[in-house]
């Protein structure tokens, strides 16, 4: 246990980091720590809460798909909006407007019945997606501007560790709260904890600053004739090598999100797990995310972001595949424990795999197209997943989608 505790703290050591980078790195770590609190409480238990309220697979899918619809249509305008503004300030205010929405989850049990709460959550999530779009486009650009290339794998790995610790602890606490308080009151408490974590995360985003003045926008680097035809959609990006990256990540995200609505249905409807079981399982998952993330920088340095992303995507296919054969809480715990290892590799490497293939002077436009394919993947997979499960059953669908994850990993490796 001593070794486990020492490894994360060594990862936070900054004595070998130049002084001018330390504030950004520290605030990026604290940002993701508070986001871990939000994720381990409100976000983590949202689908479980909806399932306990009696939500169908389609309704659970809509909780994810509603925001994807908005993001899909606003990504390109958001990219243009971000490109004309100070990245740090744009990301901060977008995060504030987005995260205010979590406050509105808290009073829903006082106002609506079960179905009213489910549809209210879907509508609120839809509205939250409007500021979420520039936040999603802008944060990757801010990360690239605030962290030098040679430190990105290290910072991403440390953020994974920080997120895992916060997620682990908060999910265990949330499970305990939910098991020891009445049904709706318990969820109101963890929604309130999540809202506080969201506010603190935005506070630390405010203190992340680009290291240098922004590179001039593309319009100042290219003649008007070269960009007029693509000024709104920037279709020229699809004529560059980045097209292969977009297609690879489209397949990757499709297979990642298509199983998301099914987990709550399987854990609640098939395994009959309680909130404490769910909290413990997610805590075990992120314990191994933590351990694996401590080695992310070393693994990426040896194999590169592309291979780590590809093999990580192959590995995470085992999670839904094996869940389909789980029959009790112990098997769920075991699966969660081993599933975190490969998730950390894929999740920690794919963003840097993308960033290393984007021209530094044109990040917002490229990231806007990435946001479009991400949300297209979320939208379609969140609806298709429950539809397939309704036809063939939840367990067979989990097994099928696990095999699709294998294919997505090999697709990345071949590109």
Residue 91: which CATH number?
1.20.1250.20
Span 185-234, pLDDT tens digits? 999 999 999 999 999 999 999 988 887 644 444 344 333 433 343 445 67
165 belongs to a structural domain:
yes
5 belongs to a structural domain:
no
Q: How far is CA 188 from the centre of its chain?
A: 23
188 belongs to a structural domain:
yes
Distance CA 293, CA 296 (A): 5
157 belongs to a structural domain:
yes
pLDDT confidence of 368, banded at 50, 70, 90? confident
Distance CA 377, CA 124 (A): 21
Q: What mean pLDDT comes out for the span 360-371?
A: 80
- The pLDDT score that the predictor gives to residue 217 is 45
348 belongs to a structural domain:
yes
- The pLDDT score that the predictor gives to residue 66 is 80
Q: Which residue, chain included where needed, has tokens 């990219």? A: 79
Q: Are 343 and 289 in contact (CB under 8 A)?
A: yes
In the DSSP assignment, the letter for residue 325 is: T
Higher pLDDT, 255 or 83: 255
Q: How many domains does the chain have?
A: 1
Q: How many CB atoms lie within 10 A of CB 235?
A: 10
Distances (CA, A) of 382 to 63, 66, 164, 279, 411: 9, 9, 25, 23, 21
- The pLDDT score that the predictor gives to residue 12 is 59
Report H helices in 316-393: 318-323, 329-355, 363-392
- The pLDDT score that the predictor gives to residue 250 is 92
| Lowest mean per-residue pLDDT among 198-202, 238-242, 310-314, 397-401 | 238-242
User: Pick from 409, 387, 389, 407: which is nearest to 398 by CA?
Assistant: 389
236 belongs to a structural domain:
no
Q: How many CB atoms lie within 10 A of CB 368?
A: 28
Q: How many CB atoms lie within 10 A of CB 223?
A: 8
Say yes or no to pLDDT of 11 above 60.
no
Q: Are 382 and 64 in contact (CB under 8 A)?
A: yes
Range of the domain at 327: 22-211+242-414
32 belongs to a structural domain:
yes
321 Cβ contact partners less than 8 Å away, ≥ 6 residues apart: 398, 399, 402, 403
Span 116-142, pLDDT tens digits? 999 999 999 999 988 988 887 788 788
- Could you give phi then psi for residue 79, rounded to 5 degrees? -65, -40
User: Pick from 237, 241, 220: which is nearest to 229 by CA?
Assistant: 237
Query: Which pair of tokens denotes residue 109?
Result: 């049990």
Span 157-190, pLDDT tens digits? 788 778 888 988 998 999 899 989 998 899 999 9
- The pLDDT score that the predictor gives to residue 321 is 92
52 belongs to a structural domain:
yes
pLDDT confidence of 110, banded at 50, 70, 90? very high
- The pLDDT score that the predictor gives to residue 216 is 44
| Lowest mean per-residue pLDDT among 151-155, 180-184, 351-355 | 151-155
Q: What mean pLDDT comes out for the span 40-49?
A: 91
- The pLDDT score that the predictor gives to residue 142 is 85
- The pLDDT score that the predictor gives to residue 64 is 78
The percentage of the chain sitting over the pLDDT mark of 90, rounded to a whole number, equals: 33
Say yes or no to pLDDT of 5 above 90.
no
Question: What is the overall mean pLDDT for the chain?
Answer: 84
């Amino acid at each position: 246990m001593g070794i486990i505790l020492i490894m994360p703290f060594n990862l936070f050591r900054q004595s070998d980091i130049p002084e001018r980078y330390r504030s950004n790195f520290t605030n990026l770590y604290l940002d993701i720590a508070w986001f871990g609190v939000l994720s381990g409480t409100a976000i983590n238990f949202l689908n479980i809460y909806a399932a306990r309220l009696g939500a169908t697979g389609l309704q659970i899918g809509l909780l994810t798909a509603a925001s994807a619809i908005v993001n899909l249509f606003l990504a390109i305008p958001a990219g243009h909006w971000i490109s004309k503004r100070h990245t740090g300030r744009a990301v901060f205010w977008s995060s504030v407007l987005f995260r205010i929405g979590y406050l509105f989850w808290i009073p829903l049990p006082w106002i609506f019945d079960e179905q009213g709460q489910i549809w209210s959550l879907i509508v609120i999530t839809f509205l939250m997606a409007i500021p979420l779009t520039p936040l999603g486009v802008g944060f990757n650009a801010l990360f690239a501007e605030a962290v030098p290339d040679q430190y990105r794998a290290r910072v991403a790995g440390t953020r994974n560790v920080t997120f895992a610790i916060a997620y682990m602890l908060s999910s265990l606490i949330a499970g305990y709260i939910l098991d020891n308080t009445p049904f709706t009151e318990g969820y109101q408490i963890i929604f309130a904890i999540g809202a506080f974590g969201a506010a603190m995360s935005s506070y630390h985003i405010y203190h992340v600053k680009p290291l240098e003045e922004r590179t001039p926008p593309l319009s100042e680097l290219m003649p008007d004739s070269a960009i007029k035809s693509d000024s709104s959609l920037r279709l020229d990006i699809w004529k560059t090598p980045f097209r292969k990256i977009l297609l690879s990540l489209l397949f990757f995200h499709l297979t990642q999100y298509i199983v998301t609505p099914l987990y709550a249905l399987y854990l609640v409807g098939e395994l009959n797990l309680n909130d404490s079981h769910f909290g413990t399982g997610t805590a075990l998952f992120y314990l191994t995310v933590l351990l694996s993330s401590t080695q992310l920088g070393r693994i990426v340095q040896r194999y590169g972001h592309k291979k780590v992303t590809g093999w990580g995507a192959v590995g995470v296919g085992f999670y839904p595949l094996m869940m389909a054969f789980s029959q009790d809480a112990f098997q769920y715990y075991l699966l969660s424990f081993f599933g975190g290892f490969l998730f950390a590799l894929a999740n920690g490497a794919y963003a840097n795999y993308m960033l290393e293939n984007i021209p530094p002077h044109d990040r917002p436009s490229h990231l806007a197209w990435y946001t479009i394919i991400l949300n297209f993947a979320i939208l379609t997979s969140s609806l298709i997943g429950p539809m397939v499960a309704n036809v063939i059953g939840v367990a067979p669908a989990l097994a099928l989608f696990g095999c699709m994850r294998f294919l997505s990993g090999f697709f990345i490796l071949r590109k």
